[in-house]
């Protein structure tokens, strides 16, 4: 257990469906991240929230829509996805900006991921 939970663990959806992925961290962190992990490819950073403010959108298509209502929760809303969006979606958290500025290690803690299949 890393202190970061994700639901659902598995999701199968059609291209016309709308679904949401949920992430929750119990570590008191202030930064949260969404990553996409495809087979044999590096982890791709999608979005970053620092103190609930979105600080990075890594050229992600608009069919992916993040939401961060508070420092402990992060959502990824999905609509009209494509089959190539099938992947493992990982959430992570870290201590955030203040820790980074202090030169701290600021490692990221990952959730178990949601295995998404788009038919």
Partner 1 sequence: GQNIDQPTEMTATEGAIVQINCTYQTSGFNGLFWYQQHAGEAPTFLSYNVLDGLEEKGRFSSFLSRSKGYSYLLLKELQMKDSASYLCAGSWFSGGYNKLIFGAGTRLAVHP
**Chain residues in the site for partner 1 (CB under 8 A):** 2, 4, 31, 40-43, 45, 48, 50, 55-56, 90, 94, 96-97, 100-101, 105-113, 115
Rounded least distance, CB 44 to partner 1, Å? 8
Alpha-carbon distance of 6 to 92, in angstroms, equals 10
Rounded least distance, CB 62 to partner 1, Å? 21
Tokens, residue 37: 């992990």
Task: Please say which residue, 82 or 98, places its beta carbon nearer to partner 1.
Answer: 98
Q: If you ran DSSP here, which 8-state letter would residue 41 be given?
A: S
Region of 52 (left: φ > 0; alpha: ψ -120 to 50; beta: rest) is left
Rounded least distance, CB 80 to partner 1, Å? 27
Give the SS3 label for residue 98: helix
Task: Please say which residue, 81 or 91, places its beta carbon nearer to partner 1.
Answer: 91
């Amino acid at each position: 257990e890393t202190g970061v939970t994700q639901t659902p663990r598995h999701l199968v959806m059609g291209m016309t469906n709308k679904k949401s992925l949920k992430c929750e961290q119990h570590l008191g962190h202030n930064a949260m991240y969404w990553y996409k992990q495809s087979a044999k490819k590096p982890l791709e950073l999608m979005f970053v929230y620092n103190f609930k403010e979105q600080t990075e959108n890594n050229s992600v298509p608009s069919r992916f829509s993040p939401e961060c209502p508070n420092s402990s929760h992060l959502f990824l809303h999905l609509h009209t996805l494509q089959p190539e969006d099938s992947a493992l979606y990982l959430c992570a958290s870290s201590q955030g900006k203040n820790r980074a500025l202090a030169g701290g290690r600021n490692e990221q803690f990952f959730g178990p991921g949601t295995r998404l299949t788009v038919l």
